[in-house]
A and B are shown apart, each in its own frame.
Chain A
Amino acid sequence: MIPNHDVVLVGGGGAGLRAAIAIAETNPRLDIAVVSKVYPMRSHTVSAEGGAAGAIAPDDSLDEHAFDTIAGGDWLTDQDAVEAFVKEAPKELLQLEHWGCPWSREPDGRVAVRPFGGMKKMRTWFAADKTGFHMLHTLFQTSLKYTTVKRYDEWFVTRILVDEGRAQGVVAIDLASGRVEAITARAVILCTGGCGKVFPFTTNASINTGDGMSLAYRAGTPLKDMEFVQYHPTGLPFTGILITEAARSEGGYLINKDGYRYLQDYNLGTPHKDPVFKSMELGPRDRLSQAFMQELAKGRTIAGPYGPVVHLDLRHLGAKKIDSKIPFVRELCKKYQNVDPVTELIPVRPVVHYMMGGVHTDINGATPLPGLYAVGETACVSINGANRLGSNSLPELLVFGARAGRAAAEYASRVYDVTPGVVAQTEDERRRVEHDLLNRTGHERIADLRGEMQKTMEESAGIYRTGAALAKGIEQLRRVRARFADLAIEDDSRTFNTERVSALELGFMLDVAETMIMSALKREESRGAHQRTDFPARDDVRFLSHSLVYRNADGSPRVEYLPVTITRWPPAERVYGEAAAHGGPHHTAGSALPAGEAV
């Protein structure tokens, strides 16, 4: 059978659109479908604020960007992928500039860069403080140029069609009408973003429910490094809205209830009046979040109406600087928390922000399942390792979006047709979605189960984890899953049935949550964003590997390991503050390994 399209992309955010454009440019004869459950300009890429890193300053180099990324990832990054990434990042950002992205400029007209947490040199390109917004809209509007890109707006993908050992398309619901259709293709690229909604406090939008990760997991391909969840240290309580790192890179201070800049107690340097690279408030996100938890344990946080918070102090920057460099921060605080940063302290707490883990792919976005690719936050290449540096995620979308697009285009021009087996699978899926999920009588409300799952994740898989809490979490999740079978769906309409969508999303989230807790339980060390109080040290002997979670036939997760690719930077200790000034790309002093262990 002839497939509907040559390549189908699930998700229309930064990664999906970049991949679609890459395919259209590589081979203008290919027919491309972008299937997204929301209109592309609503994708969560739009909310990214800080910036995108690309080494262009004359005193900067690719090796330094690579080292910062590898050290920031606590050596769990695949170094060949990082080397490719830092090399292509500036080119991709420049390409975006050519497509019209309004990067902020120096007075002479050249692109400006600014400092960012975890980066030793200034290399973060930015578009005021709405970088993700401008990038997404530039990509979306540029994609309108290519007539070979057909969009399926507000179509919700529920399953990947797999037959004869390769991916052959997807099954999706046209939300507006309720039709369930197969969209067959020669290659499938997953770009559905992260899964922050499995946690209660997150910067993520309601649409970030780990759809692509769960789809790949159910299709038989493994998820990688799912235990690494990045907390952003400064999110507004209750709403979880992100207060961008740029507020700190412009000079904000984090203070506890005594007005003390507490980060100096946690090996993050000594406080200076102006921001210092890789020190104090510009340290990496995981260390800052962990500092909050420790302050909380010491009772030095402030008790707010939605839980404990610390304060972000921007008052000393002055109204002029705030309004020119970080106006969105001021707008957000006033609109959603009734706080004016110019005169008041902003209450903040760590919130879940990014998922380092995801669908296991190689350096070209290909999963072990032929025909299936993944890019962006959905995927794990891995260039972020155990902890992602700020401003590395946006160029990741572009670099690997382009690579995966080109790889998928090349694959799609080699593959012939779609096998008849997909017809039966589509029918099966149609029955599940149409009959089993419409007007379902039961006793459990979706919101209750979702709340239970989120509470379990917060308690078991928070910033600090223990084996006991994780094991308990697995049990609790199993109970939630059992209750999920008794779900009630009141909405029996076919037209834009958002309750059915919520139920499907909850199913995806339960899968993903289970893989996260299982991976965390099996990793008995502390590295980057995964901190075990019962195993507080980093263990390069046993765990310098990625965890791969496979789905067993009975639905339970099985964890295996894959060694990390090390090329030029042998594992060393992650240092910040004054120590970082002495460290560097070739310095391995203070290594946690016995000599000679570097691979």
Chain B
Amino acid sequence: MGDHITLQVARYLPEKQSESTFDEHEVPCPKDWVVLDGLNYIKDKIDGTLSYRWSCRMGICGSCGMTVNGEPKLTCATFLADYAPGPLRVEPLRNFPVIRDLIVDIGDFMRKLVSVKPFIVRRYEKPLSEGEYLQTPQELDEYKQFSMCINCMLCYAACPIYGLDPKFIGPAAIALAQRYNLDNRDEGAKQRLEVLSEHAGIWGCTFVGECTKVCPKHVDPAGAIQRYKLTAALEEMKTFFMPRGA
């Protein structure tokens, strides 16, 4: 075991408090312990009431996003040793309401996700007997990056627009919409356009670019949004000049 590190953990017990407070604990920090290991140490050995979400601890389930020293991070992928001796501040993700301690409510995102129709939309479904829809590796590459989203919500926590205007549909929802728009098997781009080209849709984005910076899976939602702005603008012009022909 190596040195120790001071963890300052945000607490919020809704039945007892109306504001959040901080608890401070010393935890060991060997070379390969991550922040999540520190939280587990506190919960297992010191204070069993600390509540937080986690599951896979390998950066693929997206449960463990929290604000670590002011930055949104996956706590299963952030090494304690990098911050020793601390103090290291762990708080719930920003821009979301806090249910308890380090747990936030992501219901808003779940509703927005449904609204962008994140599934293959086709006029006519090919029967299974005719085999697969052909998709070359190049066509797969078109949308592959955007399909990597693990819904960890770090982008929403980093986006100041979402913080200031919770009606903004947000980076991950638009990236997932783009994932389907750019999939050559999908024909639903028009339906998604209606939802996305509102003020609270893509036009709310002012390209701060923080979402792309914090994304642990390199999805580049900012890029997805800007690309879509071009597409949407072109579509608007087309319907303006050729209302029936487009």
Q: Is B48 an interface residue (CB 8 A)?
A: yes
Report A83-128 residues with CB < 8 Å from chain B CB.
Answer: 91, 94-95, 97-100, 102-105, 107-111, 128
- With A144-B114, A445-B48 known to touch, is A39 a contact of B106 (CB < 8 Å)? yes
Selected interface stretch from B18-26, B128-136, B205-213, B235-243: B128-136
**CB < 8 Å: which of A46, A176, A338 contacts B105?**
A176
Chain A positions within 8 Å of B136 at CB level = 105, 107-109
Q: Is A527 an interface residue (CB 8 A)?
A: no
A102 touches B140 (CB 8 A): yes
A495 touches B14 (CB 8 A): yes
Main secondary structure of the interface of A (DSSP, over half): loop
B15 touches A495 (CB 8 A): yes
B57 touches A491 (CB 8 A): no
Report B78-119 residues with CB < 8 Å from chain A CB.
Answer: 99-101, 103, 105-106, 110, 113-114, 118-119
By beta carbon, the residue of chain B nearest A489 is B48
Q: Is A273 an interface residue (CB 8 A)?
A: no
Selected interface stretch from B143-151, B154-162, B189-197: B143-151
A105 touches B137 (CB 8 A): yes
Chain B positions within 8 Å of A144 at CB level = 113-114, 118-119
- With A134-B147, A496-B100 known to touch, is A105 a contact of B14 (CB < 8 Å)? no
Q: Is B220 an interface residue (CB 8 A)?
A: no
**CB < 8 Å: which of A38, A133, A488, A499 contacts B150?**
A133
* Bound form: Cα–Cα A144–B173 in Å: 14
- With A100-B183, A102-B147, A206-B57 known to touch, is A499 a contact of B133 (CB < 8 Å)? no
A319, chain B: closest CB distance, angstroms: 18
Chain B positions within 8 Å of A238 at CB level = 32
Chain A positions within 8 Å of B53 at CB level = 38, 42
**CB < 8 Å: which of A38, A107, A335, A445 contacts B137?**
A107
Q: Is B55 an interface residue (CB 8 A)?
A: yes
* Bound form: Cα–Cα A496–B92 in Å: 14
* Bound form: Cα–Cα A107–B137 in Å: 6
B174, chain A: closest CB distance, angstroms: 15
- With A100-B185, A338-B32 known to touch, is A239 a contact of B58 (CB < 8 Å)? yes
CB-defined interface of A282-324 with B at 8 Å, one 1/0 digit per residue?
0000000000000000000000000000000000000000000
A99 touches B151 (CB 8 A): no
B113 touches A108 (CB 8 A): no
B130, chain A: closest CB distance, angstroms: 10
Chain A positions within 8 Å of B14 at CB level = 493, 495
CB-defined interface of B52-75 with A at 8 Å, one 1/0 digit per residue?
111111111111000000000000
Q: Is A384 an interface residue (CB 8 A)?
A: no
* Bound form: Cα–Cα A300–B30 in Å: 27
Chain A positions within 8 Å of B15 at CB level = 493-495
Report A317-364 residues with CB < 8 Å from chain B CB.
Answer: 332, 335-338
* Bound form: Cα–Cα A35–B111 in Å: 17
Chain B positions within 8 Å of A39 at CB level = 63, 106, 110, 151
A145 touches B128 (CB 8 A): no
Q: Is A406 an interface residue (CB 8 A)?
A: no
B49 touches A490 (CB 8 A): yes
A47 touches B119 (CB 8 A): no
Q: Is A153 an interface residue (CB 8 A)?
A: yes
B122, chain A: closest CB distance, angstroms: 9
Q: Is B168 an interface residue (CB 8 A)?
A: no
Main secondary structure of the interface of B (DSSP, over half): loop
* Bound form: Cα–Cα A47–B148 in Å: 13
B134 touches A493 (CB 8 A): no
Chain B positions within 8 Å of A495 at CB level = 13-15, 99-100
B140 touches A338 (CB 8 A): no
B186 touches A100 (CB 8 A): yes
Chain A positions within 8 Å of B58 at CB level = 47, 239, 241-242, 332, 336
Q: Is A137 an interface residue (CB 8 A)?
A: yes
B120 touches A98 (CB 8 A): yes
By beta carbon, the residue of chain B nearest A133 is B60
Q: Is A423 an interface residue (CB 8 A)?
A: no
Chain A positions within 8 Å of B54 at CB level = 206
Chain B positions within 8 Å of A335 at CB level = 59, 77
By beta carbon, the residue of chain B nearest A237 is B32
Q: Is A504 an interface residue (CB 8 A)?
A: no
Q: Chain B interface: which size bin? A: 35 or more
B95, chain A: closest CB distance, angstroms: 18
**CB < 8 Å: which of B16, B57, B128, B150 contacts A91?**
B128
Q: Is A469 an interface residue (CB 8 A)?
A: no
Chain B positions within 8 Å of A446 at CB level = 44, 48
Chain B positions within 8 Å of A337 at CB level = 32
* Bound form: Cα–Cα A61–B137 in Å: 26
A447 touches B45 (CB 8 A): yes
Chain B positions within 8 Å of A466 at CB level = none
B99 touches A38 (CB 8 A): no
B60 touches A46 (CB 8 A): yes
Q: Is A207 an interface residue (CB 8 A)?
A: yes
Q: Is B167 an interface residue (CB 8 A)?
A: no
CB-defined interface of A494-524 with B at 8 Å, one 1/0 digit per residue?
1111110000000000000000000000000
Q: Is A566 an interface residue (CB 8 A)?
A: no
- With A41-B151, A94-B128 known to touch, is A205 a contact of B48 (CB < 8 Å)? no
Q: Is A264 an interface residue (CB 8 A)?
A: no
Q: Is B180 an interface residue (CB 8 A)?
A: yes
A108 touches B134 (CB 8 A): yes
The winner among B106, B126, B135 for most chain A CB atoms within 10 A is B135
**CB < 8 Å: which of B62, B101, B134, B150 contacts A110?**
B134
Q: Is B51 an interface residue (CB 8 A)?
A: yes
Q: Is A26 an interface residue (CB 8 A)?
A: no
- With A335-B77, A491-B49, A495-B15 known to touch, is A99 a contact of B119 (CB < 8 Å)? yes
* Bound form: Cα–Cα A107–B51 in Å: 48
Q: Is A130 an interface residue (CB 8 A)?
A: yes
* Bound form: Cα–Cα A241–B58 in Å: 7
Q: Is B31 an interface residue (CB 8 A)?
A: yes
By beta carbon, the residue of chain A nearest B33 is A238
- With A445-B48, A499-B48, A499-B49 known to touch, is A100 a contact of B120 (CB < 8 Å)? yes
By beta carbon, the residue of chain A nearest B56 is A205
Chain B positions within 8 Å of A556 at CB level = none
Q: Is B165 an interface residue (CB 8 A)?
A: no
B56 touches A46 (CB 8 A): yes
By beta carbon, the residue of chain A nearest B51 is A498
* Bound form: Cα–Cα A497–B48 in Å: 10
A38 touches B63 (CB 8 A): yes
A205 touches B47 (CB 8 A): no
B180 touches A490 (CB 8 A): no
* Bound form: Cα–Cα A110–B130 in Å: 12
Chain A positions within 8 Å of B99 at CB level = 176, 495-496
Report A22-63 residues with CB < 8 Å from chain B CB.
Answer: 38-39, 41-44, 46-47
Q: Is A4 an interface residue (CB 8 A)?
A: no
- With A41-B62, A447-B44, A498-B51 known to touch, is A99 a contact of B132 (CB < 8 Å)? no
* Bound form: Cα–Cα A239–B60 in Å: 14
Chain B positions within 8 Å of A145 at CB level = 119
Chain A positions within 8 Å of B16 at CB level = 493
Taking A46-B150, A137-B149 as given, write out 4 further A-B residue pairs in contact, using a Cβ cutoff of 8 Å, ordered by the A residue number.
A205-B61, A335-B59, A338-B31, A495-B14
B residues in contact (CB < 8 Å) with A = 13-16, 31-32, 43-45, 47-49, 51-63, 77, 99-101, 103, 105-106, 110, 113-114, 118-120, 125-126, 128, 131-137, 139-140, 143-144, 147-151, 176, 180, 183, 185-186
The 3 closest A-B CB pairs, nearest first, are: A109-B134, A447-B44, A491-B49
